[in-house]
């Protein structure tokens, strides 16, 4: 009864605290900041279901409830116990959440990198008083020094120096290789650093990756072969990410296993835009790794997925 159509949503972009999901209201009209554990909730102010929270209307009346978490294991960080679904900040640089015994954190400080450019020849990160995160500052230099420093990432043309309004044309593109996938099975993240952008600035770029599904049964290697490198699933599948599902199905190649103790990891990959659809009805696109070829080797990557690692070892020092 409280819904009015057509939908009228605020024109200003939604500003939510770090780690808070954007969810649709009960009318299916507008995105709102999801309510967190212990906060008041209603149909127009839903709880953060991505974190397993639900609105309990049994304790508070007049259409309001309180966000509670489904039963799950608590988390222990340096002797302090956190409940399932509880958000907390161990330091000013991290926002963490306890999810059924595992702790996941997102950084509150940007870890972006900056490359010298004509408008900022000497970028430097500086720690300011009363501020948690370091910030970039640009040191001024002489006009000659300014272009000398910037030319390290611009095409050398002795006849013409790069113009300030023509950065991309003169930019000497530098891109690192994609990092190993953050998870050995299931959906993970891979990253690289590139300055292939209009500002010619060195920035971090990420893509989704899946070396193999966690329940993927690998074919047995044929006699005489030491590995099954690029098995394909028999049926096409939909990717899942943050509770959302890819709009189309795929038959991607996955890395199999090596029978001689070596690791089987992606060797040749491509990056494709994949569209996801969420239960709330909205769509978004993410870059994703698709494997073309895998290889067996002895340089095995360590498990660096926080949700897997917390079950095996305490991540000493990571919270500092």
1-70 architecture in CATH? Irregular (4.10)
The Cα 69–Cα 173 span in angstroms is 48
CB 203 within 8 A of CB 266: no
Using pLDDT thresholds of 50, 70 and 90, give the confidence band for residue 227.
Answer: low
| 3-class secondary-structure state, position 206 | strand
- The residues spanned by each domain of the chain are 1-70, 75-107, 113-139, 187-297
- The C-alpha angle 114, 115, 117, rounded to 5 degrees, equals 115
Buried b (16+ CB within 10 A) or exposed e, 83-107: ebbbbbebeeebbbbbbeebbbbee
Residue 308 in this model has a pLDDT that exceeds 80: no
The 10s digit of each residue's pLDDT in 131-175 is: 888 888 887 655 555 454 444 555 555 455 545 445 556 777 888
Residue 66 in this model has a pLDDT that exceeds 80: yes
Question: Among 277, 278, 274, which residue's Cα sits nearest to residue 289?
Answer: 274
Mean pLDDT of 112-116: 67
* Dihedral sign of CA atoms 24, 250, 233, 230 in order: negative
CB 187 within 8 A of CB 210: yes
Tell me how far CA of residue 198 lies from CA of 168, 186, 264, in angstroms: 5, 34, 37
Question: Among 254, 250, 214, 262, which residue's Cα sits nearest to residue 230?
Answer: 254
DSSP class of residue 50?
Answer: G
Contacts of 313 (CB under 8 A, 6+ apart): none
Distance, CA of 99 to chain centre: 17
CATH 2.10.90 fits 187-297, yes or no: yes
User: What average pLDDT does the chain have?
Assistant: 76
pTM to 2 decimals?
Answer: 0.54
The Cα 67–Cα 52 span in angstroms is 10
* Lowest-confidence segment of 75-84, 128-137, 153-162, 266-275 by average pLDDT: 153-162
* Dihedral sign of CA atoms 157, 163, 164, 170 in order: negative
**Tokens describing residue 19:** 């780690």
Q: What is the pLDDT of residue 317?
A: 38
């Amino acid at each position: 009864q409280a819904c009015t159509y057509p939908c009228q949503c605020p024109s200003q972009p939604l500003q939510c605290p770090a780690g808070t999901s954007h969810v649709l209201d009960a009318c299916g009209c507008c995105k709102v900041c999801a309510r967190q554990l212990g906060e008041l909730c209603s149909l127009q102010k839903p709880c953060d279901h991505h974190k397993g929270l639900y609105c309990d209307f049994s304790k508070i009346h007049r259409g309001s409830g309180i966000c509670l978490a489904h039963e799950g294991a608590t988390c222990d960080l340096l002797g302090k116990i956190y409940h399932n679904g509880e958000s907390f900040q161990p330091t000013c640089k991290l926002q963490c959440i306890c999810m059924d015994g595992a702790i996941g954190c997102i950084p509150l400080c940007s870890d972006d990198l900056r490359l010298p450019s004509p408008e900022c020849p000497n970028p430097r990160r500086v720690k300011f008083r009363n501020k948690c995160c370091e910030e970039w500052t640009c040191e001024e230099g002489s006009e000659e020094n300014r272009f000398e420093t910037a030319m390290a990432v611009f095409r050398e043309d002795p006849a013409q120096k790069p113009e300030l309004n023509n950065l991309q044309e003169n930019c000497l593109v530098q891109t690192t290789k994609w990092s190993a996938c953050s998870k050995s099975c299931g959906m993970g993240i891979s990253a690289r650093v590139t300055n292939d952008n209009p500002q010619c600035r060195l920035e971090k770029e990420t893509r989704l990756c899946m070396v193999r599904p966690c329940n993927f049964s690998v074919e047995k290697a044929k006699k005489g072969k030491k590995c099954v490198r690029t098995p394909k699933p028999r049926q096409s599948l939909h990717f899942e990410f943050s509770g959302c599902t890819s709009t189309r199905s795929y038959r991607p190649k996955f890395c199999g296993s090596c029978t001689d103790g070596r690791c089987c990891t992606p060797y040749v990959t491509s990056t494709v835009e994949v569209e996801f659809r969420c239960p709330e009805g909205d769509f978004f696109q993410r870059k994703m790794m698709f494997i073309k070829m895998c290889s067996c080797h002895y340089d095995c990557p360590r498990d660096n997925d926080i949700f897997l690692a917390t079950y095996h070892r305490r991540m000493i020092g990571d919270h500092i």
